[in-house]
């Protein structure tokens, strides 16, 4: 989606992962996804957004997926008006007020509409 709708950002994505262990508690990971954008004036990348996830998961990859999902929903909501007509339209997004939205497919069955 960044390639389709945010080409002007020249985005770079970095993950920062930290593992927290305790002998009596489950291991958990704190993950930050940092999306940087190119700034022509400064001639350098600058931080656009930071998305965090903390989860009691066995592997860092699981926390990375959670942070990526959060970033995806954020950026999907920012360009939803343009995305309404393409392959991303039925995926969840946040509207401009921060509410979760999901479009129901046209002429879908009632069971699908109830789950959406």
pTM, rounded to two decimals: 0.66
Model confidence at 85: pLDDT above 90: no
pLDDT for residue 80: 66
Look at the alpha carbons of 96, 98, 104, 110 in this order and tell me if their dihedral is positive or negative.
Answer: negative
- 91 versus 56: the higher-pLDDT residue is 56
Span 29-40, average pLDDT: 91
């Amino acid at each position: 989606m960044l390639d389709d709708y945010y080409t002007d950002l020249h985005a770079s994505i970095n993950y920062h992962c930290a593992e927290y262990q305790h002998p009596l508690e489950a291991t958990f990971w704190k993950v930050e996804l940092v999306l940087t954008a190119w700034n022509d004036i400064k001639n350098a990348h600058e931080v656009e957004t930071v998305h965090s996830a903390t989860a009691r998961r066995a592997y860092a990859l699981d926390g990375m997926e959670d942070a990526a999902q959060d970033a995806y929903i954020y950026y999907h909501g920012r360009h939803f008006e343009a995305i309404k007509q393409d392959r991303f339209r039925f995926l969840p997004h946040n509207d401009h007020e921060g509410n979760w939205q999901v479009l129901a497919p046209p002429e879908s069955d009632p069971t699908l509409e109830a789950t959406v």
